[in-house]
Each structure stands twice: as C-alpha cells, then as structure tokens.
Amino acid sequence: MKNVKPAQLAARLGIYCLGLLVLAFGIALSVNCSLGVSPVSSLPFVVSQILGISLGTCTILVYSVYILLQMVVSRKFQPTLAVQLVFSTIFGYFVDGAKYVLGDFCLPGYVGKLVMLAASIALIGFSLVLYIDVKIAPMPAEGLVGCLADKLGRPFSKMKTAFDCTSVLVGAVLSLLFLGALVGIREGTVLTALLAGRMMGQVRKLIGPWIRKLCFGE
C-alpha cells in the first residue's frame, strides 16, 4: 500500500473541511431563499422546525441515526463510522456558523430568491467535489447509501436517488403531521436534486486534476 505523505494527508483533511464549510454555506443560502432545501437536508430541516432547535444540531442528530443504521445494516462497527461522526459534528457547527454569518439575508423578490438558489446549487456542487474526491470518508448519508447498495446489490446511483426521495418523503410527512404544511420542501428541492450532480461534474473537470496532484501526487 502506498505510503501517505504528511503534507498530502494535511491537504486532504484541509480540503475535506473546506468542502464541508462550502456545503454549509450552500445549505444556509437555500434556507434563506425559502424555495426549498436540498433533498439530503430536507429531513434535518423539518426536524429542526418541529423541535425548535438549530439546523446544525438536528443535522448532527439525523446523521448520527444514519451512522447507527449503517451499523445495523452491516452488523459491525467500522473505524470509518467514527470518522463520520467526528466530521458530522464539525459539519453541524459549520451549518450553524454559516447561518449565523448570513443571518436573515435574502435578495428581494422571486428572481432574487432564484439567484440565491442558483448560488446554493453551485456551492453544493463545488463542495461535493472537494470532500468526496479527497477520499477521507463519506458523510453519513452517502455512507448509508453505499452500505445499502452493497447489501442489496444495487448500483450506488439508483440507491442514492431512492434515498433522496425517501428523505424528502419522510420530511414531507413529518412536516404535514407536526407543522400542518410543507416546510423546506419546494421547487428548490427538486432543482437541487436535478442540478447539483451536474454542477459537480463540471466542477470536477476544472479542479479534479488539481486535487489529485495536491492530495495524491498524481
């Protein structure tokens, strides 16, 4: 197995954390524009509205459940799960920090909200490349998807689509039951689901070689 140089490991950790920070700001923008959060954030957002606690705290709670579900599905504890828990906690604080920095900022009018949504999708796509391509550990949602895909023998992409749809559906049901209306799930949720992956592909073409060279010496 190829030895990992300290400088490369430091670069991977730094880029991973940067990716989580960028993702946090992407989520905060989607929350502020009120056009719907991303599918993976829909459940934590609805839970935060029901419980009246911060989105970052609820993200940590929901992601912890995803980690437990990975243990149930795989029937074993893997070291990567501990790594997931650490970075999920960091990410939760990033989300609350990003929301604090942005406050209630929102561009006026529907067009202004669409601009914010576009910026959110761009940041989410950019962040996915940063924290996925350095190959530290998947975030709990992706980790659970991968675990289920391996267990059921299904392609990751199809399982990811099913997982996202299930998250949105559960969030919608909880929202209707406890809040009496759909909260955080709107056209922006659908647009993010459709466009974030494409944005990720374009960003990877631009910065993928740079990441591989800096982190893996390729």
Q: When comparing pLDDT for 31 and 197, which is higher?
A: 31
Residue 1 confidence (pLDDT) above 50: no
User: What is the pTM for the complete model shown?
Assistant: 0.93
User: How many helices (H) and strands (E) are present in the chain, helices listed first?
Assistant: 8, 0
End-to-end CA distance of the chain: 15
- Cα 212 from chain centroid? 22
Domain range annotation of the chain: 6-216
Contact (Cβ atoms closer than 8 angstroms) between residue 24 and residue 97: yes
| Lowest mean pLDDT across 34-43, 51-60, 84-93, 155-164 | 155-164
Mean pLDDT of the chain: 92
Residue 207: is it exposed, middle or buried by C-beta count within 10 angstroms (0-12/13-18/19+)?
middle
| Residue 99 · residue 55 · CB < 8 Å | yes
Closest CA to 16 of 94, 116, 70, 68: 94
* pLDDT band (50, 70, 90) for residue 60: very high
Q: For the residues 123-134, what does the mean pLDDT come to?
A: 92
Q: Which pLDDT score, from 0 to 100, does residue 2 have?
A: 56
